[in-house]
């Protein structure tokens, strides 16, 4: 049975366009000028217990709106969300006991309190049993290397220290579902590695379900068995990482090394595009649904003095980059 069920979920924001100043405020109050913005558009997916799912998309694609509906902060405007069988918005408090959330750069720890004091307070808020709390604190201190941090107030911590502390605070009540928004952003390689290791360990030992939004390819490759890509509020991909390449690696590039300097007036086959034209070097990108590598290579060899050529496989990194730069949008639309 899935732990998270999202069924035909939509969220439409009504924005009241306001003019600046007092007059604008009054006008907005009495003669509002509404525009609707669809943030999440008939979204459906489900997540099984113990899965680590990468939830990715451009800024504004609807990622954080979805997360806010999953955590109960926002109410859906259409469709339904179930987390552990509950409606997270109407049963917000019950839901809150079973989930943990890391909101990117915004810490949940008290700025001026020593970490241990913050953790004590959070344990009380979540009613963690004292014996269990002690046990977990020892465990976390070891895996996240918190020992020397426990007495330090958050305001004095580095970015990496803050995120380690944040993860401990988020998982101290052993939530069944954890939402992590950019947990490794801005961190150095060592800290990233430690954090990924910790997330993996929690997932392995406690079957914690993790929903992860990230720009970091390393996070996705190391943690996620499955990726959901959304764009303009819709799911455009839901499946394992391995098949992303097939789905989105539509374009390939061939780099030609040419003997002669002049390559003017080339005729290229359909679905092909000249990306770079330098002396002794040509880069051609082609759509593999419309033409093939051999056709492109053949056509060019006839017209230019080709010394060597190489075919580049689409790599995951460039696909993720494309997703985040919004380039996928046009590609999917074709």
Partner 1 sequence: MRSLRRYWRVYSAFAANAVKLMMAYSVWFWVELLGQIFMLIIFVYFWKAVYANTETVSGMRAAETLNYILIAQIVAPLVRWSLILDIGGAIRQGTVAIEFTRPVDFQARWYVEWTSQMLFQAIRLALPLGAVAMICFGLRLPADPAVWGYFIVSFLLGNAVLFCFDWAFACLAFYTTEAWGLHILREGVAAFFSGALLPLQMLPGWLQKGAAFLPFGQALNAPVSILTGITPVSQAPAVIGTQLIWLVGLFLFSRFFFGVASRKVTVQGG
Partner 2 sequence: MRKLKRYASLYWLFLLQRFKVLMEYRVNFLIGASSTIFIQAASLMTVWVVMGQVPSLNGWTIDEIFMIYGLLTLAKSINHMFADNLWTLGHEYIRPGGFDRFLVRPINPLFHLLADRFCHDGIGNFLVGLVLVMRGFENLSIPWSLGNIAYLVLAVLAGGSIFIALNLITCVTSFWIMNSVPVTLAVFQTHEFTKYPLNIYGKMIGVAMTWLIPYGLASYYPASYLLGRDVGYMAWAMVPVAAVLLAAGYRFWLFGLKHYGGTGS
- Residues lying near partner 1 in the complex (CB under 8 A) are found at 21-22, 25
Q: Please identify, using beta-carbon distances, which residue of 75 and 235 lies nearer to partner 2.
A: 75
Q: Considering the rule CB under 8 A, would residue 150 count as an interface residue with partner 2? A: no
Contact call for residue 132 and partner 2 (CB under 8 A): no
Q: Could you tell me if 256 and 304 are in contact, meaning their C-beta atoms sit under 8 angstroms apart?
A: yes
- The least distance separating partner 2 from the CB of residue 127, rounded to whole angstroms, comes to 8
Q: How far is the CB of 163 from partner 1 (least distance, A)?
A: 25
280/175 Cα distance (integer angstroms): 59
- Identity of the residue, 21 or 265, whose beta carbon is nearer to partner 1 in the bound complex: 21
Q: Count how many Cα atoms sit within 13 Å of the Cα of residue 171 in the half-sphere of its side chain.
A: 30
In angstroms, the CA 72 to CA 76 distance is 9
- Min. distance of Cβ 252 from partner 1 in angstroms? 51
Residue closer to partner 2 (CB basis): 124 or 204: 124
How far apart are CB 25 and partner 1 at their closest, in Å?
7
The three-point CA angle 202-208-209 to 5° equals 130
The entry of partner 2, partner 1, none that residue 21 binds, CB within 5 to 8 Å by partner kind: partner 1
Contact between 8 and 42 under an 8 Å Cβ cutoff? The reply is yes
**How near is the Cβ of 172 to partner 2 at its closest, in Å?**
12
# of chain residues touching partner 2 (CB under 8 A) = 32
Beta bridge partners of 244: none
Q: Residue 229: beta bridge partners? A: 56, 237
The count of C-alpha atoms lying within 13 angstroms of the C-alpha of 81, restricted to the half-sphere facing its C-beta, is 27
Query: Among residues 13 and 324, whose Cβ is nearest to partner 2?
Result: 13
Closest by Cα among 280, 275, 238 to 256 = 280
**Under 8 Å between Cβ of 196 and 165:** no
- 13 CB-near residues (< 8 Å, 6+ apart): 36, 37, 39
Q: What are phi and psi for residue 86, nearest 5 degrees? A: -110, 160
Question: What is the C-alpha to C-alpha distance for residues 154 and 109, in angstroms, rounded to an integer?
Answer: 7
Is residue 72 a contact residue for partner 2 (CB under 8 A)?
Answer: yes
Residue from the set 38, 73, 150, 268 that interacts with partner 2 by CB under 8 A: 73
Contacted entry of partner 2, partner 1, none for residue 266, CB cut-off 5 to 8 Å set by kind: none
Judged by beta carbon, residue 128 or residue 320, the one nearer partner 2 is 128
Site string for partner 2, 90-119 (x = CB under 8 A): --xxx-xx-x-x-x--x-x-x-xx---x--
Least distance (Å) from partner 2 to the CB of residue 130?
A: 13
- CA 240-10-225 angle, to 5 degrees, is 15
Min separation Cβ 253 and partner 2, Å: 41
Residue bearing tokens 């344990």: 123
| R_g of the chain, CA atoms, integer Å | 25
By CB under 8 A, what part of segment 75-94 binds partner 2? Answer: 75, 77, 89, 92-94
User: Least distance to partner 1 from the beta carbon of 192, Å?
Assistant: 31
Q: Which is nearer to partner 2, 89 or 200 (CB)?
A: 89
Token duo for residue 319: 């696909």
Q: Which residues bind partner 2 (CB under 8 A)?
A: 13-14, 25, 65, 68, 71-75, 77, 89, 92-94, 96-97, 99, 101, 103, 106, 108, 110, 112-113, 117, 120-121, 124-127
């Amino acid at each position: 049975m899935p732990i998270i069920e999202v069924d035909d979920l939509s969220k439409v924001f009504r924005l009241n366009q306001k003019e600046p100043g007092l007059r604008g405020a009054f006008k907005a109050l009495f003669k509002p000028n509404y525009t609707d913005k669809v943030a999440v558009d008939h979204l459906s997916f489900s997540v099984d217990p113990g899965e680590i799912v990468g939830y990715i998309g451009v800024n504004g694609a609807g990622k954080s709106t979805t997360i806010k509906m999953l955590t109960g902060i926002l109410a859906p405007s259409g469709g339904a969300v179930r987390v552990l069988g509950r409606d997270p918005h109407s049963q917000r408090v019950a839901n809150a006991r079973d989930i943990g959330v890391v909101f990117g750069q915004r810490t949940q720890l008290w700025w001026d309190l020593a970490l241990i004091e913050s953790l004590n307070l959070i344990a009380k808020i979540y009613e963690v049993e004292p014996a269990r709390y002690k046990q977990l604190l020892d465990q976390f201190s070891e895996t996240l290397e918190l020992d020397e941090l426990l007495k330090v107030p958050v305001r004095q911590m580095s970015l990496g220290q803050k995120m380690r502390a944040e993860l401990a605070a988020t998982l101290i009540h052993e939530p069944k579902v954890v939402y992590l928004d950019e947990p490794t952003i801005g961190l150095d390689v060592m800290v990233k590695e430690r954090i990924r290791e910790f997330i993996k360990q929690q997932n392995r030992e406690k079957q914690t379900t993790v929903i992860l939004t990230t720009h970091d390819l390393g996070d996705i490759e190391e943690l996620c068995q499955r990726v959901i890509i959304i764009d303009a509020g819709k799911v455009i991909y839901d499946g394992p990482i391995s098949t992303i390449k097939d789905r989105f690696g539509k374009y390939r590039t061939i780099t030609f090394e040419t003997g002669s300097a002049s390559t003017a007036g080339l005729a290229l086959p359909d679905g092909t595009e000249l990306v770079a034209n330098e002396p002794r070097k040509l880069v051609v990108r082609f759509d593999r649904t419309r033409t093939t590598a051999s056709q492109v290579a053949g056509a060019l060899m006839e017209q230019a003095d080709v010394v060597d050529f190489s075919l580049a496989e689409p790599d995951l990194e460039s696909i993720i980059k494309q997703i985040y730069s919004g380039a996928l949008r046009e590609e999917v639309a074709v």
